[in-house]
Amino acid sequence: MSVSVHTRKTNKKNSPLEPLLMPQVPRSNYLHLQEEKQRLQLRKFLLHRIFLVAKITANTEKKDIAEYYEQVFQSILKRHLGEAVTGLLLVYPTSILHILESSSGSLYQILLDYLNHEKDEAEFFIQGMKIIVMSHNIPTRLFMQWQVSAIKAPVMHLDDVTQSQSLEEVITEFLIQTHKLALHLFKIVKVGAKGPGNNLHKIAPELLLPEQIIKYLCNSEEFMDPETFINIYNKPVHVTLDSEVVWPAPSRF
């Protein structure tokens, strides 16, 4: 007995529901991208860098400023475990240049502590602080630890650039020089070492900014002070929808 087998011709035309049944390519967003980047870098928090300048009272010692900030850092580590603060503090005769790297919460606490001292004490030894720039979500640290250096020897320059250059040119020179100095220290200072100490004027005199630039930036009204920054930081973000500003107000059933 012969059995005839009839093969059914399959319809090659795609079914209308086929695109809906096909596996969809997962879509990502910017938040997922940042979270994945953080996971790959094994970091617990986003890293930020802030550049600060300030004036100091007469006869202020480097030791007093260093001890103050070390106490602030220790207090922060108790609440923000693992969020170490690294950077560089240059103590000039009448001003300071401070570069800090840490999480946004740690940097916020540093500014808040300074602001509390400025309000509570009649004459705090750090005055007139200005935030020059704050870089968010930087890929890596420029400083492996926090270092302090006193600039006692005068930095010789032929002319006062603050008199002949615009603010944009001065701030450009400021950022270029500070980054060059940071990269230089990154190469010569080993992890765990005390750093160059007070010999920066001998190690890299050409990379040191003159104090006249630091004082010029302290007096510039274009830069934000810590109080203004903290007020903006704490201010809630309100988004006004178009439906909230039309008249008459929309009625809800």
> For residue 19, what pLDDT is reported?
52
Does residue 253 surpass a pLDDT of 60? no
| Mean per-residue pLDDT, 55-83 | 89
Does residue 26 surpass a pLDDT of 70? no
Compute, in degrees rounded to 10, the torsion defined by CA atoms 91, 193, 204, 126. Answer: -10
Domains and CATH numbers, the chain: 44-230 (3.30.70.100)
Question: Over the chain, what HEC string results?
Answer: CCCCCCCCCCCCCCCCCHHHHCCCCCCCCHHHHHHHHHHHCCCCCCCEEEEEEEEECCCCCHHHHHHHHHHHHHHHHHHCCCCCCEEEEEECCCEEEEEEEECHHHHHHHHHHHHHHHHHCCCCCEEEEEEEEEECCCCCCCCCCEEEEECCCCCCCCCCHHHHCCHHHHHHHHHHHHHHHHHHHHHHCCCCCCCCCCCHHHHCHHHCCCHHHHHHHHCCCCCECHHHHHHHHHCCCCCCCHHHCCCCCCCCC
pLDDT band at 66 (very low <50, low <70, confident <90, very high): very high
- Percentage of the chain modeled with pLDDT above 70: 68
> For residue 223, what pLDDT is reported?
95
Does residue 73 surpass a pLDDT of 90? yes
Does residue 154 surpass a pLDDT of 70? no
Does residue 252 surpass a pLDDT of 70? no
> For residue 122, what pLDDT is reported?
75
pTM: 0.73
Does residue 133 surpass a pLDDT of 80? yes
Does residue 228 surpass a pLDDT of 90? yes
> For residue 193, what pLDDT is reported?
61
Instruction: State how far the Cα of 65 lies from the Cα of 57, in Å rounded to an integer.
Output: 11
| Mean per-residue pLDDT, 158-184 | 84
Does residue 42 surpass a pLDDT of 50? no
Does residue 158 surpass a pLDDT of 90? no
> For residue 84, what pLDDT is reported?
86
